[in-house]
Every structure is written in structure tokens, then in C-alpha cells.
Chain A
Amino acid sequence: KNEVEQSPQNLTAQEGEFITINCSYSVGISALHWLQQHPGGGIVSLFMLSSGKKKHGRLIATINIQEKHSSLHITASHPRDSAVYICAAYTQGGSEKLVFGKGMKLTVNP
């Protein structure tokens, strides 16, 4: 049983489209990361949030604690946004380990 689920698993979009990536989790969490994994494998943290909404450039992340759901939105998508987007959560109780979702592979075509 996966504690962190992502949908869809793959998404192909055209440049300029608005993209939404969803993440749901089945356990109580203290915070959630949105991560970007490049084709070479490296991982970068985009956001860590425990409530509300955060924005950075064309990226917006939201979280609804009651519904156990988070979304990552990309506005005006660009081919350089092509990557795997992963959500990962810290479970409640002070755990230091991140529980990862399987990731969503995004391809943005020019």
C-alpha cells in the first residue's frame, strides 16, 4: 500500500499549457515536498509546505491538509520543465524520513 500516490504517472503537454500534478496521501503528515528529478537523475526540492500555498516563478504548490491532497501547478509550461515531478511527505510524529510517491514524468513539447 502506497502512502503517497501521484496522478497522472505520465503527462505530455504543449508549450504554454497550464499543468496540474496531483498528490494524495493516506497518512497524517507534518510537511510535504515537491521535488524535480532531471533526466540525469539529480533531485531538486521545489517547495516544502505544510499548509496553504507557495509560489515561485511559474510554479505554484498548494496543500489541503483536511483532504490529504496537494497539487503542483506549472503556468506557461516550457520544454525545459520536462522532468519527473515527485511529491514526498514527512509522516507525523517527528519522523525524519521522506516517503516518496512514484513521480510523474512530464514532457512539454515545443
Chain B
Amino acid sequence: EPEVTQTPSHQVTQMGQEVILRCVPISNHLYFYWYRQILGQKVEFLVSFYNNEISEKSEIFDDQFSVERPDGSNFTLKIRSTKLEDSAMYFCASSQGAGATGELFFGEGSRLTVL
């Protein structure tokens, strides 16, 4: 069964450091997403990405965050200068269709710990 894969599964970093979280979406999917879940809280939308550009983003997704699809297979989330409050589980997801038109597949998540 096709799956979304994420690396690393866990990353520990110092405050102020740059972090890149990587995702390999399902190969024929066109829509890509990042979500995050702070420990004990609900999952929150960060950004959606289609046709090599951001199609929607939340208030959380400020200038410290960026996404790109550098090589047609990987989909990355970069946090430029991490803060303590960036500690969370980050989930990548992909689908063939936008929003409610496509079945959504999630990765296993990347846990980020900022010290």
C-alpha cells in the first residue's frame, strides 16, 4: 500500500537553529500539506502546497517557516530559527485532489524537540 514517509522521526535541536523536516508524498499525489500537533493539543493546519506554490497557509505559518519541493519527490518544511514553542509533532500529508475531493494520507510524523 502506498504511504507517505517522513524523516527524521525525531529531531532534537537547540533554540535558534534551523531545522528541515522531510516528506516523501505518495508518487501520483498533487496536493501536499503540513500539520503540527503540540503535545496534548489538537492537530493544527500549517500550509497546503500545489503546483509548486503555497495555496493556503495558517497564521502559525509565519516568516520563520518555508516549504519547497526541491526535486519533484521530496516535500520539505524548514523552520529558520527554532523557538521553544516550535516543539511539536509535525505531520506531512498528501492527496490526489484538493481538500474534500481527495483521500488524504498522513505520514507517521516527525517529532521536533527544541531545547
Residues of A with C-beta under 8 A to B100: 30-31, 48, 50, 90
Checking B35, B42, B48, B104 against A102 with a beta-carbon cut-off of 8 angstroms, the contacting residue is B42
CA of A71 to CA of B98, assembled, Å: 24
A residues 65-109 near B (Cβ < 8 Å) are 86, 88, 90, 94-103
CB of B67 to closest CB in A, whole Å = 14
Q: Are A96 and B48 in contact (CB under 8 A)?
A: yes
With A40-B108, A42-B109, A45-B105 known as contacts, the answer to whether A96 contacts B99 (CB < 8 A) is: yes
Q: Are B43 and A43 in contact (CB under 8 A)?
A: yes
With A45-B103, A100-B43 known as contacts, the answer to whether A95 contacts B56 (CB < 8 A) is: yes
Checking A40, A44, A86 against B43 with a beta-carbon cut-off of 8 angstroms, the contacting residue is A86
Q: Are A43 and B48 in contact (CB under 8 A)?
A: no
Q: Are B103 and A97 in contact (CB under 8 A)?
A: no
Which of chain B's residues has its CB closest to A38's CB? B108
Which of chain A's residues has its CB closest to B100's CB? A31
Q: Are B58 and A97 in contact (CB under 8 A)?
A: yes
Q: Are B98 and A42 in contact (CB under 8 A)?
A: no
CB of B8 to closest CB in A, whole Å = 13
Q: Are A41 and B44 in contact (CB under 8 A)?
A: no
Residues of A with C-beta under 8 A to B22: none
Q: Does chain A have a CB within 8 A of B75?
A: no
CB of B6 to closest CB in A, whole Å = 10
Q: Are B99 and A95 in contact (CB under 8 A)?
A: yes
Residues of B with C-beta under 8 A to A98: 35, 43, 45, 104
Known: A41-B109, A94-B98. 11 other contacts (CB 8 A): A30-B99, A41-B108, A43-B91, A86-B43, A88-B43, A96-B31, A96-B33, A96-B48, A96-B98, A97-B45, A102-B41
Query: 17 A-B pairs, CB-CB below 8 angstroms?
Result: A42-B107, A42-B109, A43-B91, A45-B105, A45-B106, A88-B43, A90-B99, A90-B100, A96-B33, A96-B48, A96-B55, A96-B98, A97-B58, A98-B43, A99-B45, A101-B42, A102-B41
A residues within 8 Å of B by Cβ? 30-31, 33, 35, 40-45, 48, 50, 86, 88, 90, 94-103
